[in-house]
Structures are given as structure tokens and as C-alpha cells.
Amino acid sequence: MKTFPECIPCFVRQSIQAAKFAGASEQRQKEIADKIEEYLKNINMQDTPPKTSRNMHIEIRKLLNNEDPYKIVKDKYNTIALSMYDKLKNIVKKSKDKLLTSLRIAIAGNVIDFGAQIEFELEQDIKEVLTKDFAIFDYEKLKEKLKKEKEILYLGDNTGETVFDRIFIEELKKIYNSKIIYAVKESPIINDATKEDAVFAGLDKLTDIVSTGCNSPGIVLEYCNREFLELFNKSNLIISKGQGNFETLEQEKRPVFFLFKIKCNVVAQYLGVPKESIVLYNKF
């Protein structure tokens, strides 16, 4: 998916947000936003938004002299999400379709996304996602795949969201005895999950955690390491979390099931569904 003009204000917002989370003064926030506006004048609009964002955040981190501006907020939502684990597990336990309920919970965790939005109400979003109709719902196709394929490449997204993924993964293993390979970012970018965050969520006890080799908010294959590319190209079932991964991978002719909440008008219009929709989407 290419970058659209409507993406530009979002990029500028991210620059201010990163500076704010890093503790920069209002004046410094403005200075960084001004520099990023200059930087954005020369971007390639055919690049995916996560590729543009990745390269922009390299500049932001240099300007801030801070390799992880989102560190405090990432730790905060890791802790909040883990504190919700027992409650969420109980919701699954009481449900009729435990796989679907755990899948919905995984999507609910996708609201913890500081790249695509500024504010969210986690408790309220969970309640909504548990009952909301899907705008795209390839659930039967996913279940057929799960019966056939015993190994899943699971593409993680954000910190905190990893705990919600854990609940879905536990059901996948319980129902289908699936082997899960959980892919995370190599190093910090916005609030995307790294190995440290996956381990904090307990995913090291359930999955083989691997690095994509890249640090973009969405898996940009040209930045990934050889080991991940081999996994991606040989996998017969890929579960992809988050809007950023959709933006970078939706044109790839691979057996990917995208799970996410649509948080911006650009992606909503691209898919032809309303903003705030939830989707389970398989293209190829």
C-alpha cells in the first residue's frame, strides 16, 4: 500500500508525540516537527507508510538523541496488559466459541498503537470488539487452514498487545496443537514489540520468538534478515497482527490472515469499510 497525502499529518503528529514522550519541551517539539515537515517534502509517495515512518523515526531519534522515545509508555502498557490477563482468560473460558473469542481479544489488543492513533480506551475497546460485527470475516477459511497446517508464523505488532496475542496463541495450541513462531521487531520503533516485550508477556514459554531483523512499524521485507525472509517465504500459514503489517504485506502473494482494527481513514477507504472496523482478512 502506497503513502497517501492524508498520511502526512499523521507523520508530523508522530514526530511531536515521540518528542513529547521523550520529555522534550514544547519549543523543542515544535522544532522537531518543523524539521520533519522539511524531511517529508522529499519522501517517495510510492513507498508504504511504515517504510516512510521507519526512515522518519531514524531522523527523529537522532534529533532527540534517544534510541527509544516510547520506552516509558511501552513499559506502562506492558504492565497494564499483563494485569488484565486473568480477566481476559476468564472471558474466553466462559465463551461458547473459545477460538473466536480469543481471536477477538487479540484484535482488541491492537488498539495499543501510538503510530496510528493518539488516544484509546482499552477497557471500552475490549468490550466493543467482543461483540462487534466484523467488516471482513474470513474465519471459516482460517479454521480450514488451521486444521491442515500445524506450524504458524505469527507476526506480532505492539507492546502490551503481546499479552492479548498470548491468549489467542494459547487457544491455537490447545485446539489445534499448533507450533507457533512469533516474530518481533529487531529494535525499538514507536511502540512496536521487540523480544524483550514478547518475553515479558510470557510468549517465550509458548512460542519460538524470532526477530524480523527490521525496525519498521510494519514488516518491510527489504529491511528483514535472511532467516526471517526464509520463514516468511516457506510458511503455509501466517497470522499478521496490526494495521502496519497490513500496509506493508497486503500485496504479497502469501497465505496471510490479517487481524487488526482499522484506525485511519486511508486504510478504511482502501479496503472499502468504515473506520474503526475490525477485520480478519485473507487475500491470497
What pLDDT score was predicted for residue 234? 97
* pTM strictly above 0.85: yes
Per-residue pLDDT of 203-241, as tens digits, reads 999 999 999 999 999 999 999 999 999 999 999 999 999
pLDDT at 79 > cutoff 60: yes
What pLDDT score was predicted for residue 120? 63
pLDDT at 121 > cutoff 90: no
Q: What CATH class is the domain 71-282?
A: alpha beta
CA R_g for the chain: 18
pLDDT at 158 > cutoff 90: yes
How large is the average pLDDT for residues 239-249? 97
Percent of the chain, pLDDT > 90? Answer: 93
Mean pLDDT score of the chain, rounded to an integer? 95
pLDDT at 118 > cutoff 70: no
Per-residue pLDDT of 182-207, as tens digits, reads 999 999 999 999 999 999 999 999 99
Could you tell me the residue ranges of all domains in the chain?
Answer: 7-64, 71-282
What pLDDT score was predicted for residue 124? 86
User: With bands split at pLDDT 50, 70 and 90, how would you rate the model's confidence at 116?
Assistant: low
